[in-house]
Chains A and B, each alone.
Chain A
Amino acid sequence: MPKQTRKTTKKHEKDDDVLVRIRGLRFARGDRWIFDGVDLDIPRGKVTAIMGPSGTGKTTLLRLIGGQLRPDAGSIQVDGLEVPKLSRRELYALRKRLGMLFQSGALLTDLSVYDNVAFPLREHTDLPESMIRNLVLMKLQAVGLRGARHLMPSQLSGGMARRVALARAIALDPMMIMYDEPFTGQDPISMGVLVQLIRLLNDALSLTSIIVSHDVQETAAIADYIYVISGGKVIEHGPPREIMHSSSPWVRQFMQGLPDGPVPFHFPAQPYLDDLLAEGEA
């Protein structure tokens, strides 16, 4: 049930079941448009995937939602708050309600697993150490790593590091978690564990999850809804089953992992024969 007291700019947009609403988003790096008119809705309580080839700006999109980058144009609303317009204080207050899992895990390397999970609690609450201990053990138990609490991040495997980062991300009981490429570089077992965890946590804690990924199978298996972005635009969206059988040849190439198609195998170059005949330069 939405809180009555919190002041919002547009009441009707807060009460609906869209948690993140992006309209007409444009963002440039140098003179290249990474996003050129993107519209997206992330529904509450669901697992939404944003897919696209590497370098399309998936990480950038998460940073825009989290307010680490500012768009050149367009609107990004999270829970009714217009992120680019927030003051620093408001932005930090919003971030306490968001969890983000970075591609690398981004654990603090000089702190143990336990202290990493305790970090947001110690920074943002005045809870006594005994309570923090209980919370940390609960979160670690949820990701199955209570026994690893004394290890340092350098002693963890990639999959374990991501689970610890997940425990840390849920430490403050956020309303939403954003996962940046959670499956990249995982062995099949940790992959399976992560896939299950993301779904389980989303449903058990009634979170909203955004998964950014190019791992088609795993993502399609847990996502309720998929957006495919490429070339700065959303080129397809829908439930996984529909996306898999999209009418767009590009989307089919991407989702089914075909080497050649609308996206050519070859990087643009001058004709092969000319190149072979040309002498001198490499």
Chain B
Amino acid sequence: MIEALRRLGRIGLGFFERLGRGHLFLLSVLGGLPGLFLRPRLVVQQVYSTGVLSLLIIVVSGLFVGMVLGLQGYNTLVDFGAEESLGVMVALSLVRELGPVVAALLFAGRAGSALTAEIGLMKATEQLSGMEMMAVDPVHRVVAPRFVGGFLAMPLLAAIFSAVGVMGGYFVGVGLLGVDDGAFWSQMQAKVDLHDDIANGVIKSVVFGFVVTWIAVFEGYDAEPTSEGVSRATTRTVVHASLAVLGLDFVLTALMFGD
């Protein structure tokens, strides 16, 4: 009984200790941002590599999610004779929810885990220590550009996901199921609001990008410098980042659309 309590206490302490370290780490990463303005090439490189890394999976998943939305939406809407609204339904689902959330989950699995593994391996092979001894701060030189790169890539990927998803919905709804072409687009244009829908979706993906890359770079930097340590950190990144995305999505949705 006492032992169980003690274990609970230790787990709790460990959790808060890591949380604290994570925040301190974030502060030092943010301290590296001014330096990046002088060397934007470092960031561009990272946007490119994380973006390209995730692009294929984002496009393919976006297409299928859009096609499924088209099918499911049509089956429901047609009962009410409202299949012309398919475009609105597909677009809203994607822009408000599925785009940011699914893209962030995929991003965590693909780019987030790769970031953690890359930084963790650099630590395990003493590359980060080596940089420190060359008087180069690895948090500023290695972590900060990756953090900013991931943070910028995420909204772009979510936008691509939504756009491809709409094409998928169009392909199924208009191409296969015979929804009217003009109605599909014009209703979408009329009902999707720039501020309420698109802006909120973008805010979501920005927040998710921030959190996922933060978790990924922290786990990598904090990993135990052995191969098991790195592999555990990679797993933790995917699990924690996915949970964080889903939890935050609820909070953000409640704040944005819940009144």
Query: Contacting B135 at CB < 8 Å: which of A63, A93, A104?
Result: A93
Interface residues in A, total, Cβ within 8 A: 22
A106 within 8 A of B: yes
Query: Is the Cβ of A100 less than 8 Å from the Cβ of B130?
Result: yes
Across the interface, do B127 and A109 meet the contact criterion of CB distance under 8 Å? Answer: yes
What distance in Å separates the Cβ of A131 from its nearest Cβ neighbour in chain B? Answer: 19
Other-chain residue from A103, A106, A123, A124 in contact with B127 (beta carbon distance below 8 A): A106
A95 proximity list for chain B (CB < 8 A): 132-135
* Contact indicator A66/B133 (Cβ below 8 Å): yes
A66's closest neighbor in chain B, by CB? Answer: B133
Bound complex: CA A93 to CA B131 (Å): 14
Contact pick for B130, options A106, A123, A124, CB 8 Å: A106
Q: Contact: B141 with A123, CB < 8 Å?
A: yes
Bitwise, B194-214 to A at CB < 8 A (1) or not (0) is 000000000000000000000
Residue B125, interface by CB 8 Å: yes
User: Which of B125, B134, B136 makes the CB contact (< 8 A) with A104?
Assistant: B125
A64 at interface, CB cutoff 8 A: no
Among B121, B129, B136, B141, contact of A68 (Cβ-Cβ < 8 Å): B129
Q: Does B126 contact A (CB under 8 A)?
A: yes
Interface set, chain A 89-137, CB cutoff 8 A to B: 92-93, 95-96, 98, 100, 102-104, 106-109, 119-120, 123-124
Q: List A contacts of B133 (CB < 8 A).
A: 66, 68, 95, 98, 100, 102
Q: Is the CB of A119 within 8 A of B135?
A: no
From A63, A100, A104, A106, name the one whose CB has the most chain B CB atoms within 10 angstroms: A106
Residue of B nearest to A93 (CB): B135
Complex contacts, A92 vs chain B, CB 8 Å: 135, 137
Contact with A along B51-69 (1 / 0, CB 8 A): 0000000000000000000
Give every chain B residue within 8 A of A63 (Cβ-Cβ): 129
Q: How far is the CA of A109 from the CA of B118 in the complex (A)?
A: 10
Chain B's closest residue to A108 (CB) is B127
Shortest distance between the CB of A153 and any CB in chain B (Å): 10
State the CA gap A168–B137 with chains docked (Å): 17
Judge whether B134 and A120 touch: CB under 8 Å: yes
**Which residues of A have CB within 8 Å of B135?**
92-93, 95-96, 120, 123-124
Note all chain A residues with C-beta closer than 8 A to B121: 109
> Inside 8 A of A66's CB, which chain B residues have their CB?
133
Which residues from B are CB-within-8-Å of A109?
121-122, 125, 127
Contact of A102 (CB < 8 Å), options: B122, B126, B141: B126
Q: List 6 interface pairs A-B (beta carbons < 8 Å), by A numbering.
A: A98-B133, A104-B125, A107-B130, A109-B121, A120-B135, A123-B136
Of all A-B residue pairs in the complex, the 9 with the closest CB atoms, nearest first, are A106-B130, A95-B135, A106-B126, A92-B135, A100-B133, A102-B126, A96-B135, A120-B134, A123-B136
- Residue positions of A touching B, CB distance < 8 A: 63, 66, 68, 92-93, 95-96, 98, 100, 102-104, 106-109, 119-120, 123-124, 165, 168
Known pairs A95-B133, A96-B135 / 11 extra A-B pairs, C-beta < 8 Å: A63-B129, A68-B133, A95-B132, A107-B130, A108-B122, A108-B127, A108-B130, A108-B131, A119-B134, A123-B134, A123-B136
